[in-house]
């Protein structure tokens, strides 16, 4: 069930049905839960500006009541680890309260309580990533030393899937975690090691959650109010104290090093399989600049041309070499000259063939990484950079013509990579815009 099903259109596996609705809408819940035997409840409202605890209560009550009326046999709920008591943070207290309210509906609830989840999209993981990537030296408050028991996203999904078939005659709570216990500081050091970054941490005793949240709002994707709620939760140890999950499930979670490496490999796989035109289709704009798929920065723009796809693709497959890059060639030559000075290939390699491309071809200081004739070309940069870069073109028939999408992607390596991207972004923006206009003009003529 999603409030905007169209946003999921490009991400659905075959056989998946999406129901439009909102958990605060009883009629929508009735429609979504009709004929359902098991329902996953993976909702929380921490990002809302309103009282998130009260909204979480309303949502849980409405969902539990609707599930009971629909005859749902079990609810699988993902909550948060934390020892129950009056000193628990509002975020963790709300997570546990939602589980209790779902159980009060009368439907058997299988509640998993987890600590930090290591995988793209996890607030904690994205905070760790942003801090390590952007700050060579970190002033760290006390909360980075609090012990947690992280779990990899693959292991978490394994528990959620196994929860469909485990015998459940009454509600159960399972605490789940990975094989290692460690602090946020340890996690940041491990992330830095796997990304090949050197980072220094200076502990200080005076940074309050409020001050820390303001800082997080500046250097990470988290809003300050979310950062404050997250830090208030981090101040509590989140470790597994009841090992019932290991006895009742066949899942054997791995350690932090393995889980983090797998999360980064999954991002690589997703990136390799992603079509940027699909990823951006639901946003409705012709130009996008934001972070997608983990750490990568993206500049994507489109133009429509009144010609068939093969005509639109012709200047794309002929780019580079003696023909140049269609716009600001002097700047491309200057970039190539500089690249040779610092040990890169520069523009001297040219093209194997003026009209034909194959995967693996060298193309000036790029390499052809993906090629589908009259449809798609993706180039991986081989020039010297503080990170990795790709340039992708894709053409799609639309109406009486063709839509051309051009996407530049940069995976910065640490602070140097971010400085490089933002320092040159005005120039890159002008060059990429001019290049796409030139491609469209050549396609039309």
Q: What is the pLDDT of residues 181-212, one digit of tens each?
A: 999 899 999 999 998 888 888 887 765 655 66
pLDDT in tens, 165-185: 999 989 999 999 999 999 989
Does the structure show a pLDDT above 80 at 334? yes
Measured distance CA(308)–CA(305) in Å, rounded: 8
Centroid of chain to Cα 190: 19
| Residues 376 and 248 reside in one and the same domain | no
The answer to whether position 194 is within a domain reads yes
| Stretch among 78-82, 94-98, 233-237, 422-426 having the lowest mean pLDDT | 233-237
pLDDT at 291 over 70: no
Distance CA 366, CA 369 (A): 9
Please state the rounded mean pLDDT for residues 146-160. 93
Q: Is residue 299 located within the same domain as residue 249? A: no
Residue 441: Cβ-neighbour burial (10 angstroms; 0-12, 13-18, 19+) = middle
* 112-139 pLDDT per residue, tens: 999 999 987 787 887 888 788 878 888 7
Residue 268 within any structural domain of the chain: no
Q: Which of 229, 263, 297 is the last residue of a domain?
A: 263
> Mean per-residue pLDDT for 15-34?
91
Kindly report, residue by residue over 387-433, the tens digit of the pLDDT: 889 999 999 999 899 999 998 988 888 888 888 888 888 888 899 99
**Which residue segment(s) compose the domain that 174 sits in?**
5-263
Which among 263, 294, 326 is the end of a domain?
263
DSSP β-ladder status, 74-80 and 38-41: parallel
Q: What is the pLDDT of residue 272?
A: 59
Q: Which of 182, 169, 307, 171 is nearest to 237 (CA)?
A: 182
pTM given for the model:
0.70
Examine residue 177 and state whether it is found in any structural domain, yes or no.
yes
Q: Which of 233, 263, 293 is the last residue of a domain?
A: 263
Q: Would you state the structure tokens that stand for residue 79, as one six-digit string?
A: 């909550």
The single residue listed with the structure tokens 């796989």 is 269
269 lies in a domain?
no
Domain assignment present for residue 205? The answer is yes
Judged by DSSP in three states, 400 sits in coil
283 and 258 share a domain? no
Question: Do 293 and 224 belong together in one domain?
Answer: no
Phi, psi of 281 (to 5 degrees): -65, -30
Domain count for the chain, please give it: 2
| 8-state DSSP, 383 | S
One domain, residues 75 and 39: yes
> Within a domain: residue 187?
yes
Q: What is the CATH number of the domain that holds 92?
A: 3.40.50.720
**Judgement on whether residues 300 and 437 belong to the same structural domain of the protein:** yes
Helices (H), 302-413: 309-317, 329-341
DSSP state of 5: G
Same domain, 198 and 56: yes
At 216 the three-state DSSP class reads helix
DSSP string, 268-307: HHHHHH--HHHHHHTT--SEEEEEETTTEEEEEEEEEESS
Domain for residue 434, yes or no?
yes
Domain CATH code at residue 331: 3.30.530.20
């Amino acid at each position: 069930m999603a409030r905007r099903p169209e946003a999921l259109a490009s991400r659905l596996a075959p056989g998946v049905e999406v129901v439009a609705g909102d958990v605060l809408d009883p009629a929508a819940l009735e429609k979504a839960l009709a004929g359902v035997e098991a329902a996953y409840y993976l909702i929380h409202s921490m990002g809302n500006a309103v009282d998130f605890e009260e909204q979480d209560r309303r949502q849980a009550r409405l969902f539990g009541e609707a599930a009971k009326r629909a005859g749902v046999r079990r609810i699988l709920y993902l909550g948060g680890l934390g020892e129950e008591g009056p000193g628990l943070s509002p975020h963790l207290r709300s997570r546990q309260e939602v589980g209790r309210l779902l159980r009060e509906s009368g439907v058997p609830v299988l509640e998993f309580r987890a600590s930090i989840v290591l995988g793209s999209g996890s607030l904690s993981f994205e905070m760790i990533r942003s801090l390590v990537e952007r700050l060579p030296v970190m002033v760290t408050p006390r909360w980075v030393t609090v012990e947690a028991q992280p779990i990899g996203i693959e292991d978490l999904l394994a528990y959620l899937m196994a929860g469909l078939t485990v015998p459940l005659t009454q509600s159960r709570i399972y605490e789940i975690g990975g094989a290692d216990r460690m602090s946020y500081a340890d996690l940041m050091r491990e992330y830095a090691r796997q990304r090949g970054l050197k980072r220094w941490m200076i502990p200080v005793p005076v940074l309050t959650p409020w001050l820390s949240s303001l800082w997080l709002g500046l250097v990470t994707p988290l809003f300050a109010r979310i950062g404050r709620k997250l830090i208030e939760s981090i101040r509590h140890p989140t470790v597994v104290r009841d090992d019932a999950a290991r006895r009742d499930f066949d899942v054997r979670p791995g350690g932090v090093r393995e889980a983090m490496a797998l999360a980064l490999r999954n991002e690589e796989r997703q990136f390799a399989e992603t079509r940027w035109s699909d990823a951006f289709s639901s946003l409705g704009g012709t130009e996008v600049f934001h972070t997608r798929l983990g750490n990568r920065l993206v500049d994507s723009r489109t133009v429509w041309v009144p010609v068939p796809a093969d005509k639109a693709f012709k200047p794309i497959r002929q780019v580079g070499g003696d023909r140049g890059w269609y716009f600001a060639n002097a700047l491309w030559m200057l970039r190539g000259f500089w690249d040779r000075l610092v040990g890169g290939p520069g523009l001297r390699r040219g093209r194997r063939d003026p009209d034909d491309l194959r995967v693996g071809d060298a193309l000036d200081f790029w390499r052809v990484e993906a090629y589908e004739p009259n449809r798609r070309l993706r180039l991986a940069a081989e020039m010297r950079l503080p990170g990795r870069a790709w340039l992708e073109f894709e053409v799609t028939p639309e109406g009486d013509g063709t839509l051309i999408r051009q996407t530049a992607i940069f995976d910065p390596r640490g602070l140097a990579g971010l400085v490089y991207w933002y320092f040159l972004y005005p120039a890159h923006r002008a060059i990429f815009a001019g290049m796409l206009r030139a491609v469209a003009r050549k396609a039309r003529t």
